[in-house]
Amino acid sequence: MLKDFLKGLWRENPVFVQVLGMCPTLAVTTKAVFGASMGMATTFVVVSSSIVISLIRRFIPEQVRIPMFTVIIATFVTAADYFLKANFYQISKALGPYVPLIVVNCLILGRAEAFASKNGVFRSFLDALGMGLGFTCALVVLGAIREVLGAGTVFGYRVMWDGFSNWIVMILPAGAFLTLGLLVGVFNMVDKKISVEKK
């Protein structure tokens, strides 16, 4: 049970290991707070759709499962989008089209197909929650690194010394690729060390 939850955080981390959902990962992580909001919206969608799909998995005809998953996912994405627009207007404006685009995040369809449609509600819930949180953590780390170097702040708080000149490239798309590449490398290095120690 606990494994279902934990694997999304590390061993099968959606961003660093499965390399899924790269579009929002690269596009919205100019600031830590955007990464956190995108992560939470995605977590909401993956958890709710996994629960619903797991609940009705016996009634889903094999041939039309993908369209059904998509309809269910799209419903939750639209709900999340409207909720953000109504209650967190500025964040929703900054995230722009990337909230509606959660529909096509393969992480979510991937969980529906690989886990929720084959397992019970509680296990699906844990699996989705782990994946969502793993995704959120990755986006926050990415966003924080880019924000520190590109704007000198973290979550809007100034952390760099006065006179620090911002590395604008970190906020531009190139910075997303640089940071992600380095993070995946560091992740693999740490992961290898852990598995060597285990042996």
Partner 1 sequence: MIKKILNNNTLRMITALTVVGIFSGAVLVLVHNYTVPKIEANKTKETETAIKEIFPSAAKIAETVYPGVFKITGHGGTPGGYAFIAAGNGYQGEIKMIVGVDAEMTTMLGMQVLESQETPGLGAEIVGSAFRDQFKGLSLAQPITYIKNQKPEKPGQIEAITGATISSKAVVNTLNKRIEQIRKKVKDK
Q: Is 163 in the site for partner 1 (CB under 8 A)?
A: no
Minimum Å distance from CB 53 to partner 1?
10
Q: Which is nearer to partner 1, 63 or 161 (CB)?
A: 63
Q: Which of 126, 129, 171, 180 binds partner 1 (CB under 8 A)?
A: 171
Q: Is 74 in the site for partner 1 (CB under 8 A)?
A: yes
Q: Which is nearer to partner 1, 35 or 130 (CB)?
A: 35
Q: Which of 10, 22, 27, 83 binds partner 1 (CB under 8 A)?
A: 83
DSSP 7: H
Three-class SS state of 154:
strand
Quickly count helices (H) and strands (E) in the chain.
Answer: 9, 2
Minimum Å distance from CB 54 to partner 1?
14
Q: How many residues does the chain have?
A: 199
Strand partners for 157: 154
Distance CA 186, CA 138 (A): 13
Strand partners for 158: 153
Distance CA 63, CA 42 (A): 26
- Residues in contact with partner 1 by CB under 8 A are 30, 56, 59-61, 63-64, 67-68, 71-72, 74-75, 78-79, 82-83, 85-87, 89, 93, 96, 150, 166, 168, 171-172
